[in-house]
Amino acid sequence: MGAQCCSIGDPEKKRKTDLDLLGVSVHHLANYFMDLVRAKYPDSGNDTKIYQIEDLNDLDKNGIIREEGKDTQCPIDDRRGAAYVHTLQGADHVGPASIMLSYTWGYTIGDIIDVLRNYCTSNGLNPKKVYVWICCLCVNQHRVVESMKRKEDIPFDDFRKVFHGRVTGIGHVVAMMSPWTGPEYLNRVWCIFELFTASKEGCKVTIEMPKREREDFIKGLANDHEHDDKLFGVLSSTDVESA
């Protein structure tokens, strides 16, 4: 299911909704974005974590994501500084999101791309036409930093509305689980919220793992029951209150 739009009775609202639901193609991530990461982090490369690519603990220093959008006018609020996705042009790079990636900033860019490539391969999809809504690239990090500098506490309900709108607007959540024996994913309240919302609203949910995790998981299920116990143990120990 691709990105859905609101009623055409309000053209301005529809325009903003369309912009909010744009995604970055898997092709762009695996090639152009990955080139940016390797150029800036030649030592870590594929193993660079998202919070290293865009360090929100250093508010005065642009990471790769903010740097790319710093001189672009945001098409939503018409101010300087745009989300990464709004700097892109061309159907091979940007389009209405068909999936929303639910993940954590502690995952590596290499694992994220591996998961998305596997999703395309498994479903016989063209990576140039699979557009992913991923918060680090599709939320305007310039505005996030501005709020942080003002020490603003954004109400939970505001976050809830944003993520609820993305989940229901796109209609398909790809949840990234890694490591499978104790996914970081299940320790993040927003990840759990996204899954809960997708389930409640009848959206499609696909669970994906990086290749090495996927192979270990399948091998374990085929050979012994210890892996089954580990999996059920992970799921049963998920604590929303501490996430």
Cis peptide before 210 (omega within 30 of 0): no
Tell me the whole-structure pTM to 2 decimals: 0.85
Distance of CA 32 to the CA centre of its chain: 17
Task: Give the whole-angstrom CA distance, residue 213 versus residue 86.
Answer: 33
Which among 156, 162, 170 is positioned nearest to 205, based on CA atoms?
Answer: 170
96: helix, coil or strand? strand
Q: Could you read off the pLDDT tens digit of each residue along the chain, which spans 243 residues?
A: 454 444 445 677 788 889 999 999 999 999 999 999 999 999 999 999 999 999 999 999 999 999 999 999 999 999 999 999 999 999 999 999 999 999 999 999 999 999 999 999 999 999 999 999 999 999 999 999 999 999 987 777 887 888 899 999 999 999 998 776 666 666 677 788 888 899 899 999 998 988 887 777 776 666 665 655 655 555 444 444 444
First-to-final CA distance of the chain: 29
Residue 199 near residue 207, CB atoms below 8 Å: no
